[in-house]
Amino acid sequence: MDSPDTIAAVASAPGRGAVGVVRVSGAQVPQIAVQMLGFLPAPRFAQLTNFLDAAGEPIDRGLALYFPAPFSLTGEHVLELQAHGGTLVGDMLLKRLLEMGCRMARPGEFSERAFLNGKIDVAQAEAIADLIDAGTTAAARAAVRSMQGEFSARIHALQAQLTELRSAVEAAIDFPDEELDFLPGNLLQDRIGNILAAFDSITAAARQGSLLREGLNVVIAGRPNAGKSSLLNKLVGDDIAIVTDQPGTTRDVLRQHLHLDGLPLNLIDTAGLRTTADAVEAEGVRRARNELQRADRVLYIWDAARAGEPQDFSAALQELPHGVPVTLVFNKIDLTGAAPAIDESSSPARIFLSAKTGEGVELLRTHLKASAGYLSGETGALSARRRHLDALARAKACVAQAAVHLTARTLELFAEELRRAQLALGEITGEFTSDDLLGEIFSSFCIGK
């Protein structure tokens, strides 16, 4: 097989800085080092040296580090040049490397090679990207845990338990006469119970990590004048949105980012939902409906004080997209005299508050955290993405289905469900991930990573 191209990229952030790092990986690295430095640096020793152009003139002087395969980031020969930061130096070094036969690395290509050479799995590669992008210390800590393989290790442990179960059952399928001797059904049920519990605990840690990474899209919706913009302002603690007593004040979609006890929230205020002849307002309503489709949660605001309005919020709720979690917020309790309250047992959950005075808003904050499954404080969160949560959910559903087959003693189907669960888990680590998806994941990384 042809060895892959030798790739090069500036790995440090663009712009001015004290140090700029250029990374090279591939089979040609030793020759390239000799041409560019005049010698091959000793493995894993930092060496101060000139970086030479084609005429043998120094482009810059800095540290060269050589990592021979397989003990490197990518598993290939790797050369790292630590030059002075600055757009021009990096570009000149890169140009020289391309002259010597290197190819510009695609985004994420170093990570991709690390994956292909078994240095890291996909979940770890994603965690590195998450660490780089982390917006809070909690998100960074979750990313480090996953990067160090904690998430992957827990997935592998689940895989191992599933393999054990499968081989026990497959043996029973092959030797049906001995089935009852080594397959007491309740023992298997116990084991499945343990596996399902393990799924729940990994999912909780991963959901927390996914929340820390992606945040929660919360859309504030309702009729005009219900107090949506007032609630946005109250939650943010600032006068972001225009509030007036005229119905139809908000037309544009307003987005505000905030943290609720470490949980990132994208709070989205929208135009009041009604049919209107005003073209601008109608466009606002159309955009509001668009946002509702993408919401993780809708806060549907109802003006509890509006005289003469039949309290028919159920008809209004019917208009919301199906499947989106909703919280019904009765606003303006300062006018009705009702006490701040929350009822999470009704469906949808109800909260009574005043966006004006702030009474009951704390109940809403707590409710938002709880309904997202967010845990405060240090929780052992594992940085994860929606695709991981989705794969976990599918795998768990297969195991639950397997339990049904076990009860029915349809052992072939039982084994088949366990196999499907393993395939779904393998998508997380990249073991059974399609090439298209892998390409998509790595190409979302930055160049030089």
Ligand X SMILES: Nc1nc2c(ncn2[C@@H]2O[C@H](COP(=O)(O)OP(=O)(O)OP(=O)(O)O)[C@@H](O)[C@H]2O)c(=O)[nH]1
Task: Answer yes or no: are the C-beta atoms of 122 and 433 closer than 8 Å.
Answer: yes
- In whole angstroms, how close is the CB of 228 to Mg ion at the nearest point? 5
- In whole angstroms, how close is the CB of 223 to ligand X at the nearest point? 7
The DSSP 8-state label assigned to residue 289 in this structure reads H
Burial 122-151 (b: 16+ CB within 10 A, else e): bbbbbbbbbbeebeeebbbbbbbbbbebbb
Judged by CB, which is closer to Mg ion: 208, or 249? 249
Task: Answer yes or no: are the C-beta atoms of 389 and 373 closer than 8 Å.
Answer: no
Judged by CB, which is closer to ligand X: 105, or 243? 243
431 binds, among Mg ion, ligand X, none (CB under 5 to 8 A by kind): none
**DSSP three-state, residue 74:** coil
- Signed CA dihedral, 316, 319, 321, 323: sign only: positive
Judged by CB, which is closer to Mg ion: 26, or 224? 224
List the one residue from 152, 210, 233, 250 that touches Mg ion (CB under 5 A): 250
- CA 175, CA 181: separation in Å to the nearest integer? 11
224 binds, among Mg ion, ligand X, none (CB under 5 to 8 A by kind): ligand X
Please give the single-letter amino acid code of residue 178.
E
Judged by CB, which is closer to ligand X: 239, or 412? 239
Judged by CB, which is closer to Mg ion: 28, or 230? 230
Taking CB under 5 A as the binding criterion, the range among 113-121, 221-229, 253-261, 300-308 that sits at the site for Mg ion is 221-229
Q: CB burial class (10 A; 0-12, 13-18, 19+) of residue 447? A: middle
Q: Does 229 bind Mg ion (CB under 5 A)?
A: yes
Instruction: Give residues 261-290 in contact with Mg ion (rule: CB under 5 A).
Output: none
- In whole angstroms, how close is the CB of 232 to Mg ion at the nearest point? 8
- CA 372, CA 390: separation in Å to the nearest integer? 16
356 binds, among Mg ion, ligand X, none (CB under 5 to 8 A by kind): ligand X
Residue with smallest beta-carbon separation from ligand X = 272
- In whole angstroms, how close is the CB of 225 to Mg ion at the nearest point? 8
75 binds, among Mg ion, ligand X, none (CB under 5 to 8 A by kind): none
- CA 78, CA 23: separation in Å to the nearest integer? 7
Taking CB under 5 A as the binding criterion, the range among 74-82, 149-157, 244-252, 256-264 that sits at the site for Mg ion is 244-252
Instruction: Give residues 179-208 in contact with Mg ion (rule: CB under 5 A).
Output: none
- In whole angstroms, how close is the CB of 220 to ligand X at the nearest point? 8
- In whole angstroms, how close is the CB of 250 to Mg ion at the nearest point? 3
Task: Answer yes or no: are the C-beta atoms of 105 and 448 closer than 8 Å.
Answer: yes
Judged by CB, which is closer to ligand X: 224, or 340? 224
Cis peptide leading into residue 70 (ω within 30°): yes
Residue 164 CA, chain-centre distance (Å), reads 30
User: Given the rule CB under 6 A, which residues bind ligand X?
Assistant: 222, 224-230, 243-245, 247-250, 271-272, 331-332, 334-335, 354-356
Judged by CB, which is closer to Mg ion: 69, or 253? 253
The residues pairing with 66 across neighbouring beta strands, listed in sequence order, are: 43, 79
- In whole angstroms, how close is the CB of 280 to Mg ion at the nearest point? 14
Please provide the DSSP assignment of 155-179 as one string.
HHHHHHHHHHHHHHHHHHHHSGGGH
Chain residues that interact with Mg ion, rule: CB under 5 A: 228-229, 249-250
